[in-house]
Every structure is written in C-alpha cells, then in structure tokens.
C-alpha cells in the first residue's frame, strides 16, 4: 500500500550543542501518529498474510481440520494396490485406513478382494492387471461397492511390460471417464506411478507420469471430481524388487493419499452418498465415447 509523504512545516531549530534539529515547544508531537500508522499498516499486512495465497483464492489451509460423515474408499489398481512387497500384504491400505479413523464417523474400505492382516482389508487391486483389464471390470465393481472415494494407482504393468506404452495415458483417461460417468459424485484420487529401477523402464514411467497433470486438468475443467496426488517423496530406495514398494514406500503412498483426501475433503468434494450407474454414457474430450 502506497502512502503520501507527510507535509513539511517550518524547519525545526537546531540544537547549538549537537547541530541536530529539535522540535519547537509549540510543534505537535508526531510519535503517536507514526505508531498509529505503523500499527494500521502492520494489521493490514497481517490480515493480508492470513487471507492471501491459497486462502485468498478460496482454498482452505492445509492446517484446517476436516471431518466427513462417511468414507467408503475403493483402493483400485494392480499388485501395488494389493500390497505385494509389503511385509504384511496390506501395502498402503492399512496405514491409510488407520489414518482416516479420526476424520469420519464411518470408514469402510471396499472391493471384491481381500489381502493382508488388517481387519478392513477389502480392495480392488488385481495383481498383473493392465489398465484395459481394470477398465473391463470397473462397472460391476463400482455397482457392488458404491465408493465415494477411489484411490487409483494403475499402469505399472503396461509400462513395465512395454505394452503399447504410447497409448497408456489415453487408456487411463478412458478409464477415468468411465468411472466419472458411472458415478459422478465419487472423488478419484489419481496417483502417478511409483519409480521403477529395472533397466530401461524409468524413462517410460516418467513419460507416463508427465501426461497425468494435463489429463486431470482437462477433466476437472469439465467438472470431474479427480485430483492428482503427490508421490514425489517415493524414490528407488523405497522399492523391494525394482517394481513394488517396500514398507517404507507403502507408508509414503499412504501419506500421499491421505494428504490428497484431506485436500478434497476441505474443498467440499466428498459426497456422503453417491449414485452408481455403470450403463451411463461415457464422454471423452466432449464427445460421446460409447
């Protein structure tokens, strides 16, 4: 905020001892005025700091508490979602499930499969499945489970096996469109692929992951409740066999999904009840896709 300079009155006389100007007895004291201005400016700056950035744009702070009545979470993907490589077989699911207890009255993980030691071990992590194979089964899985949140990590088998890699992002986009058509009120938390330390594979992982932000942004512009989570903390040392995460990697996955779910909840994206219609027509990039 710019302020006009103060008006200058007659010059104050100088002290004969020091040569410094001294206020005239009749001149008003300005210290109080300066303090008042400083307090006002400080208050405005403090207010701006509190309301600026994400808050000014309408996004709630990361420290804002959140709670929802109901979370029905479908972990969706392949063997990494199943938890292969973790010591318990739970993968990221157990840590994520436990972290949600304080944020919802009712928390339930759903799916047609069960693996691991956790009491709530349901999921749709189909070991060995490519993107197209998950897409082939998604309609019945959604209808049976009716999730209001999906945590999705998928594509590792396409990329690891070098299966039509150039078309993998488009296949994932088609799956997302099928999900949002069938259950538009369900929030999808999409994860980039974890690293792969097998020779020659990581460049393909990187190319796939680079396509995801634009893919998500396009669907968000159409109103889809899809958000991309941040897996940047997961590195090659978090892998047990070059492909699957170890316990450390799975903990980082759980943390990233929890953070993404918290952001979605604070933004009001979690619908307590959802309607699922697998036969709903699918729209991709504004055109019917069948």
Q: Does the residue 49 lie in any domain?
A: no
Q: Is pLDDT of 37 > 70?
A: no
| Closest listed residue to residue 230, CA positions, set 164, 162, 163, 153 | 153
Q: Does the residue 45 lie in any domain?
A: no
Domain that holds residue 245: 69-277
Q: Does the residue 139 lie in any domain?
A: yes
Give backbone dihedrals phi and psi of 172, rounded to 5 degrees, phi first: -65, -40
Question: What is the predicted pLDDT for the residue at 176?
Answer: 98
**For the residues of 141-172, what is the DSSP string, one character each?**
HHHHH--SEEEEE--HHHHHTT-SGGGHHHHH
230 pairs with which residues across the strands? none
Number of domains in the chain: 1
Q: Does the residue 238 lie in any domain?
A: yes
Distance CA 40, CA 45 (A): 9
Q: Does the residue 287 lie in any domain?
A: no
What is the CATH classification number for the domain harbouring 224?
A: 3.40.50.1110
Q: Does the residue 221 lie in any domain?
A: yes
Give backbone dihedrals phi and psi of 19, rounded to 5 degrees, phi first: 80, 0
Q: Which residues contact 150 (CB under 8 A, 6 or more apart)?
A: 73, 74, 75, 76, 179, 186, 187, 188, 189
pLDDT in tens, 43-101: 433 333 333 333 444 556 667 899 999 999 999 999 999 999 999 999 999 999 999 99
| Closest listed residue to residue 255, CA positions, set 128, 93, 54 | 93
pLDDT in tens, 122-172: 999 999 999 999 999 999 999 999 999 999 999 999 999 999 999 999 999
Question: What is the predicted pLDDT for the residue at 58?
Answer: 52
Q: Does the residue 30 lie in any domain?
A: no
pLDDT band at 18 (very low <50, low <70, confident <90, very high): very low
Q: Structure pTM?
A: 0.79
Distance CA 257, CA 204 (A): 23
Q: Does the residue 16 lie in any domain?
A: no
């Amino acid at each position: 905020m710019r302020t006009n300079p103060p008006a200058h009155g007659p010059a104050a006389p100088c002290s004969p001892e020091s040569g410094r100007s001294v206020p005239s007895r009749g001149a008003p004291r300005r210290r109080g005025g300066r303090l008042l201005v400083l307090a006002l400016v400080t208050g405005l700056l403090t207010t701006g700091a509190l309301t600026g950035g994400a808050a000014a744009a309408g996004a709630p702070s990361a420290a804002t508490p959140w709670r929802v009545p109901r979370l029905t979470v479908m972990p969706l993907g392949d063997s990494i979602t199943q938890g292969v490589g973790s010591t318990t077989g739970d993968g990221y699911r157990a840590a994520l499930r436990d972290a949600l207890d304080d944020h919802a009255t009712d928390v339930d993980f759903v799916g047609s499969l069960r693996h691991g030691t956790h009491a709530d071990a349901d999921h749709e992590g189909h070991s060995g499945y490519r993107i197209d194979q998950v897409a082939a089964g998604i309609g019945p899985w959604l209808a049976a489970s009716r999730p209001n949140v999906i945590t999705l990590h998928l594509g590792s088998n396409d990329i690891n096996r070098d299966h039509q890699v150039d078309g993998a992002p488009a296949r994932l986009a088609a799956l997302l469109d099928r999900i949002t058509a069938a259950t538009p009120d369900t929030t999808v938390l999409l994860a980039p692929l974890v690293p792969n330390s097998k020779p020659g594979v990581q460049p393909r992982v990187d190319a796939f992951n680079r396509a995801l932000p634009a893919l998500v942004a396009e669907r968000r512009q159409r109103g889809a409740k899809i958000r991309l989570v941040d897996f940047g903390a997961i590195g090659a040392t978090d892998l047990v066999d070059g492909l699957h995460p170890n316990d450390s990697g799975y903990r980082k996955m759980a943390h990233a999904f929890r953070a993404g779910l918290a952001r979605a909840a604070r933004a009001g994206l979690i619908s307590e009840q959802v309607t699922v219609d697998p036969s709903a027509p699918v729209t991709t990039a504004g055109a019917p896709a069948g």
